[in-house]
Structure 1
Amino acid sequence: MTRIICLANSWKHGDRCIAGINEVNGNWVRPISDLRDGQIPKEMRHINRLEPALLDVIDIPLAKTGPDFGFECENLSILPGKWQHVGKVSSSFLLKYFRDQAYILHNDLRFVTVNYMQSLPRENRQSLQLIKAVKFTVKMVSQRFEGGNKWEGSIVTAYNQKLTATITDPVFTRRLDLGYRPEKACLITVSLSMPWRPDGWEGDDPCWKLIAGVIELEEDIIY
């Protein structure tokens, strides 16, 4: 079993993408199913019929390797067995895993190309990052086919790094639909999508930066 702090449970092809940090070594982990793009169906991810929530500490049966789709380094294949909920942490507990980097996922654009990722050593093909946003604003951009609205978030860090990206955190977008707006500093999981070329796209295949999990910072450690 591999123990992670869940930092993303986001939409992926009608199912979900789960990701988190291994609390022992601080490495990112993205469990991958044997479906085409590795998305995780509910019968695999549910724990006592409940979705893994952000800040949950969960044990997942994982292999030591997994398909990287040619550009990701965090993926581990899911093995047979039940997922287990073993605890929960506060948002402030996560601060020890936060590391400032020069960019939000490799550059100051909204995407990273597959060719660029493949030019890096495998261990540097980072497709998940924990960002501390000192300012985080949201905007509704359209309606989703599955109901609810599609939202974008704009991140500003203490070092004036900026990113505007689609929000794929279902729980957070539901709160936005109900009128909630973030007011505190946030820890945000930014993830790269699978390659997707918009109509008329020219150039290398882009992987789009997504806001996959949003956690407002609190004070007390509860785990």
Structure 2
Amino acid sequence: MPAIEILCLANSRKHGGRCIGGLRMDGGGWVRLVSSEPDGTLYPRHYLLDDGSEPQPLDRIAVPIAHPCPKPHQPENVLLLPQPWRLRERPLRRSAAPLLRNHLHRERNLFGDAADRIPYERLVAQPPTDSLALVIPDSARVRIRLTSADRRQTRLVFTLAGAVYDLAVTDPAAEARWADLAPGEHPLRVPLGQKLLLTISLGEPFEVDGCCYKLVASILSTPAGWWI
């Protein structure tokens, strides 16, 4: 298959590397870019752009792909070819706003329900049609917690059409912005005239409980003046 152009909407942490996904610029929907590594994780040798930078959310990039390689819990996966990625546009022009608007998820359920995880066995029996979603939450706040292993975890608590979600954040840029926040909940403020835009992703099965967790893979604000 030739290279495809995508609007990058997530460059998130995954097993010491990254998970990168976005919307095809030709209207073909979501893709999650995966490598030939056993779990599909991307490393710098896979994803660095031709200018030496990393893909950022709202970049338009050209990516060489081999073929689709869907999994029961991630139907959008496509396998990369070992060739350079190219940056086509940064910052993105307003003409891309309809692409975002047309792919907004507006319903309360994410990937079939309003829970924070889905048993992998259920996904095998009833594969979802999507494992990536773009949402504008009704409200949101940051929650910093310490795990049982005393490790810091950044989470986002948000509402979507009446459903309340409390999901782990895997967006490294957001984690860096909030690195100095104390444990507890904190308001999330968005500049006037902009909206909060989240990319939600369904992760790999967790070995402890066999569930795939819903993750906040990207947190950004819509560019000023865009109608989405």
| TM above 0.5 | yes
1:163 aligns with 2:133: no
State the partner residue of 2:136. Answer: 132
Q: Tell me which moved more, 84-93 or 57-66.
A: 84-93
State the partner residue of 2:220. Answer: 215
The structural deviation recorded for 1:187 is 1.1
1:101 aligns with 2:87: no
1:149·1:173 contact (CA, 8 Å) conserved in 2? no
Quote the Cα distance in structure 1 between the aligned partners of 2:118 and 2:93: 31
Q: How many residues align?
A: 209
* Aligned residue runs from structure 1 range 62-211, under 5 A: 62-66=65-69, 68-87=70-89, 88-89=91-92, 93=97, 94-120=100-126, 124-142=128-146, 149-157=152-160, 159-178=161-180, 182-184=188-190, 185-198=195-208, 201=209, 205-211=210-216
Paired residue type of 1:210: L
Quote the Cα distance in structure 2 between the aligned partners of 1:90 and 1:135: 27
Paired residue type of 2:66: A
Paired-residue identity, % = 24
Structure 1 unaligned segments of length 5 or more: list them: none
Provide, for residues 131-150 of structure 1, a one-character-per-residue CA deviation record: whole Å limited to 9, x for no partner.
Answer: 1112110011138x9xx942
Structure 1 residue corresponding to 2:29, chosen from 12, 27, 50 = 27
Is the partner of 1:116 in helix, strand or coil?
A: helix
Q: Compared with structure 1, are the counterparts of its residues 186 and 78 closer, same or farther at alpha carbon in structure 2 (3 Å cutoff)?
A: same
Structure 2 residue corresponding to 1:18, chosen from 17, 20, 27 = 20
2:140·2:187 contact (CA, 8 Å) conserved in 1? no
1:105·1:126 contact (CA, 8 Å) conserved in 2? yes
Q: Compared with structure 1, are the counterparts of its residues 89 and 95 closer, same or farther at alpha carbon in structure 2 (3 Å cutoff)?
A: farther
Q: Compared with structure 1, are the counterparts of its residues 26 and 172 closer, same or farther at alpha carbon in structure 2 (3 Å cutoff)?
A: farther
2:8·2:23 contact (CA, 8 Å) conserved in 1? yes
The structural deviation recorded for 1:85 is 0.6
Is the partner of 1:219 in helix, strand or coil?
A: coil
Q: Compared with structure 1, are the counterparts of its residues 89 and 134 closer, same or farther at alpha carbon in structure 2 (3 Å cutoff)?
A: farther
The structural deviation recorded for 1:108 is 1.2
Is the partner of 1:35 in helix, strand or coil?
A: coil
Provide, for residues 82-107 of structure 1, a one-character-per-residue CA deviation record: whole Å limited to 9, x for no partner.
Answer: 10010142688222321323402211
Structure 2 unaligned segments of length 5 or more: list them: none
Aligned structure 1 segments of 4 or more residues deviating by more than 3 angstroms: 178-181
Is the partner of 1:37 in helix, strand or coil?
A: coil
2:158·2:165 contact (CA, 8 Å) conserved in 1? yes
Q: Compared with structure 1, are the counterparts of its residues 89 and 114 closer, same or farther at alpha carbon in structure 2 (3 Å cutoff)?
A: same
Quote the Cα distance in structure 2 between the aligned partners of 1:18 and 1:181: 27
Report the RMSD for the aligned CA atoms in angstroms.
Answer: 2.3
1:136·1:153 contact (CA, 8 Å) conserved in 2? yes
Is the partner of 2:212 in helix, strand or coil?
A: strand
